[in-house]
Structure 1
Amino acid sequence: MKTAPRAAARPRRGRTGDTRARIEAAAVALFARKGVDGTSVRDIAEQVGVSEGALYRHFPSKEELARELFLTRYAALAGEICAVEAGQGSREAKIAAVVGLACRLFDAEPALFAYLLIHQHAHLAHVPDEAEANVVEAVARLLRGAGVPAERLGLASALALGCVVQPAVFALYGRIDGPLAAQADAIAAAVTGIVERARGR
């Protein structure tokens, strides 16, 4: 069985302009592998190849870095879900597009996915209620647009999210082989089934 995602190789020193991005990338990898509490500012600085003082010039504390990483990445995913929901296409096509989006995110950045999943409870109280910045609300908006009635929206959203998250967790720890995108059609079919049942069909 695979362990949690390993940190990427230490990035080479680059221009000052990309230091913040390199700090963020290193922090995501370390936080996913070691947890926020298990990662020190020195760990992040060494991974990036900068001094601790240089890191503090970009982020006032490790906790602020962890919070900003979560909120910005979580909001970016929510925004993409909302963009799919607002676009053209059938209910089934939109569900498939959102599932595909989540699978591609996992395949491209498993450490980011692990960080968002594992550390969500430390930050969710700071997530805005607006769907454009809140994945749960973005999914609820998608399902509402698919015809799920208000009284069934909470459970349907939870089930739909579970259909995506649990396979990703299994893939993260080696219980599902290959890219998660290979399972996207099956996952989308499961979510569509949840929607149809919630609509009373």
Structure 2
Amino acid sequence: MSAAPARRGRDGADTRARIEAVALELFAQKGVAGTSVRDIALGVGVSEGALYRHFPSKEKLARELFLTRYATLAAEICAIDAGERELERKLRAVVGLACALFDAEPALFAYLLIHQHEHLGTVPDAPEANVVEAVAQMLRGAGVPEARVTLASALALGCVVQPAVFALYGRINAPLMAQAPEIAAAVLGIVEAALKG
């Protein structure tokens, strides 16, 4: 008797995970506006009503996908910051993390990149939930003066994001991980300049 609720719970979690995976692919390909609830439901193989039992609207689904995935990435950056002692190793690990994410889940990376402007205003300021703040915290901890942290963070992130954009559009050959050493060297140069400047 008690096995049935557990099974339903597991099935519900599986359906929710499938909805998120299909939505992510569609949002990355067609944009949120270009994707209908029907498109997502068809991709998952459920009714639109079943989809609404998991997410009240397409917009809420898009927001939750962004915030949870963005927070996961931020938390991983914070873990690298806490786990590594040397700045160069931290930066190389963060670049490796971003490149590996791009190679493993290009739709997720594309979604985070392309739709960030729609959601960044709702991202919490805590470094564990905010990639920009996680990078800024790392740079502060390395001794980058507060007056230079914002620009150095922007430049460092740009060194990672722009090659990913080029890879998305076929201007840089995948895997992006093959470019990680050069990207990390560029990021290190930016941070070293901010430390000296």
Indicate the TM-score class for this superposition, using the shorter chain for normalisation.
Answer: over 0.9
Q: State yes or no: 1:62 paired with 2:58.
A: yes
2:38, 2:82 → 1: CA distance? 43
For residue 100 of structure 1, the aligned residue among 96, 102, 125 is 96
> Identity across aligned pairs (percent)?
76
1:173, 1:72 → 2: CA distance? 25
- Deviation, 1:178, is 2.5
**Cα pair 1:41 1:62 within 8 Å, conserved:** yes
**Cα pair 1:32 1:115 within 8 Å, conserved:** yes
**Cα pair 1:146 1:195 within 8 Å, conserved:** no
Q: State yes or no: 1:165 paired with 2:154.
A: no
2:61, 2:144 → 1: CA distance? 37
Which residue does the alignment assign to 2:3?
A: none
Local SS of the residue matching 1:39: coil
Which residue does the alignment assign to 2:139?
A: 143
Which residue does the alignment assign to 1:7?
A: none
What's the C-alpha RMSD, in Å, of the aligned pairs?
A: 1.2
1:60-119 C-alpha deviation (Å, 9 max, x unpaired): 000000000000000000000000001133110000000000000000000101101111
Matches within 5 A, 1:1-201: 15-200=11-196
Which residue does the alignment assign to 2:7?
A: none
- Deviation, 1:126, is 0.7
- Deviation, 1:200, is 1.0
Amino acid at match of 1:200: K
Amino acid at match of 2:90: K
More helix by share: 2
1:102, 1:178 → 2: CA distance? 13
> RCO greater where, 1 or 2, for CA within 8 Å and sep 6 or more?
1
The alignment of Structure 1 onto Structure 2 pairs a total of residues equal to 188
Given the two structures, how large is their TM-score scaled by the length of structure 2? 0.93
2:192, 2:41 → 1: CA distance? 49
**Cα pair 2:103 2:174 within 8 Å, conserved:** no
1:185, 1:142 → 2: CA distance? 19
1:79, 1:19 → 2: CA distance? 25
